[in-house]
């Protein structure tokens, strides 16, 4: 099938499907540990969003087309409906999908993102990929050092470096289609436009140290998702599942049960 995203399945075939959508500059690997744990009770599907990881590259990179990609993958795997969970950009995609195809969403879980506009926070990372001479790097260690000024936090730096891969003749190149992602960036950080109210259960999970979901965002969220419930994972910032994996998983399992 053309334009099918790169995906991975964990768990038994006859268990309830749970799809996980990653954030900007992410890929399915980011959710490997959580997916392994969840696979005891669910058939977990992780996938690379278009223009990310090993998925196809395309000029379009907005929420409508990313939502269609999810629907196409569900069709391919014969899932008429599923639990949908998304983090950050993936959380916004999941909300758009729930708005467009409410019958296909059994339960919606949104990790550390609200449907509002955000201040641009990734411009330095786009600059890093443009300014660092990837083709001249000889090792992962050199890449780490080159990205240090753009991403002083080691966790963020390692996360970004997942987007590069060694070339057969030496040097590195980006896996992701940065041009398409950057062209869609205003939409990615922008406010979502909904066409209906989603009446099924929705759970928003925030990191206690994140600030991506503020108290004043909750009224707006409840207008679109009146059954929304809010949860907080201690000792975690925006990358909740990576910064406090045990706390995140405990919170998530309570929601799913």
List helix spans (H) across the chain: 32-38, 63-76, 89-100, 123-131, 140-147, 154-161, 178-183, 185-189, 218-224, 240-243, 245-256
| Nearest alpha-carbon partner for 147 in 176, 172, 180 | 172
The question of whether 243 is a catalytic residue gets the answer no
Residue 214: count of CB within 10 angstroms of its CB: 11
Residues 251/229, Cβ–Cβ less than 8 Å: no
Please identify which of the residues 52, 122, 238, 241 carries the catalytic annotation: 238
Is residue 108 classed as helix, strand or coil in its secondary structure?
Answer: strand
Q: Taking CA 80 as the corner, what is the angle to CA 78 and CA 86, rounded to the nearest 5 degrees? A: 100
The question of whether 250 is a catalytic residue gets the answer no
Please identify which of the residues 81, 144, 179, 232 carries the catalytic annotation: 179
The pLDDT score that the predictor gives to residue 106 is 97
Helix 89-100 vs helix 63-76: crossing angle, to nearest 10: 70
Residues 221/204, Cβ–Cβ less than 8 Å: yes
Q: Which CATH superfamily is domain 7-118+190-256 in?
A: Alpha/Beta hydrolase fold, catalytic domain (3.40.50.1820)
Residues 248/241, Cβ–Cβ less than 8 Å: yes
Interacting residues of 18 by C-beta distance below 8 A, sequence separation 6+: 38, 42, 43, 44, 45, 82, 83, 84, 85, 256
Residue 117: count of CB within 10 angstroms of its CB: 11
**Tens digit of each residue's pLDDT, the chain (257 residues):** 468 999 999 999 989 999 999 999 999 999 999 999 999 999 999 999 999 999 999 999 999 999 999 999 999 999 999 999 999 999 999 999 999 999 999 999 999 999 999 999 999 999 999 999 999 999 999 999 999 999 998 888 988 999 999 999 999 999 999 999 999 999 999 999 999 999 999 999 999 999 999 999 999 999 999 999 999 999 999 999 999 999 999 999 999 98
Domain spans in the chain, listed from the N-terminal domain onward: 7-118+190-256, 123-178
CA dihedral sign of residues 168, 176, 111, 189? positive
The question of whether 76 is a catalytic residue gets the answer no
DSSP 8-state code for residue 44: E
User: Cα–Cα distance between 187 and 61 in angstroms, integer?
Assistant: 9
Please identify which of the residues 88, 210, 241, 243 carries the catalytic annotation: 88
The pLDDT score that the predictor gives to residue 256 is 96
The pLDDT score that the predictor gives to residue 154 is 86
User: Cα–Cα distance between 252 and 248 in angstroms, integer?
Assistant: 6
The pLDDT score that the predictor gives to residue 225 is 98
């Amino acid at each position: 099938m053309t334009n099918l995203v790169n995906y991975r399945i964990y768990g038994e075939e006859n268990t309830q499907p749970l799809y996980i959508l990653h954030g900007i500059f992410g890929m399915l690997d980011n959710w490997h540990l959580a997916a392994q744990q969840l696979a005891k009770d669910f058939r977990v599907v992780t996938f690379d969003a278009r223009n990310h990881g090993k998925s196809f590259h395309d000029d379009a990179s907005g929420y409508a087309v990313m939502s269609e990609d999810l629907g196409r993958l569900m069709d391919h795997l014969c899932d008429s409906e599923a639990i949908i969970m998304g983090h950050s950009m993936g959380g916004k995609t999941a909300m758009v999908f729930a708005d467009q195809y409410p019958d296909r969403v059994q339960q919606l879980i949104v990790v550390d993102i609200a449907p509002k506009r955000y201040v641009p926070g990734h411009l330095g990372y786009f600059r890093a990929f443009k300014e660092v001479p990837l083709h001249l790097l000889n090792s992962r260690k050199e890449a780490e050092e080159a990205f240090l000024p753009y991403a002083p936090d080691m966790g963020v730096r390692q996360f970004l470096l997942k987007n590069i891969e060694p070339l057969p003749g030496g040097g590195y190149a980006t896996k992701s289609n940065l041009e398409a992602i950057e062209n869609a960036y205003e939409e990615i950080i922008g406010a979502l436009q909904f066409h209906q109210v989603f009446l099924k259960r929705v759970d928003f999970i925030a990191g206690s140290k994140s600030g991506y979901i503020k108290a004043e965002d909750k009224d707006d969220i409840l207008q679109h998702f009146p059954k929304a419930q809010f949860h907080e994972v201690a000792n975690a910032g925006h990358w909740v599942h990576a910064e406090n994996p045990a706390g995140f998983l405990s919170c998530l399992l309570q929601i799913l049960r």
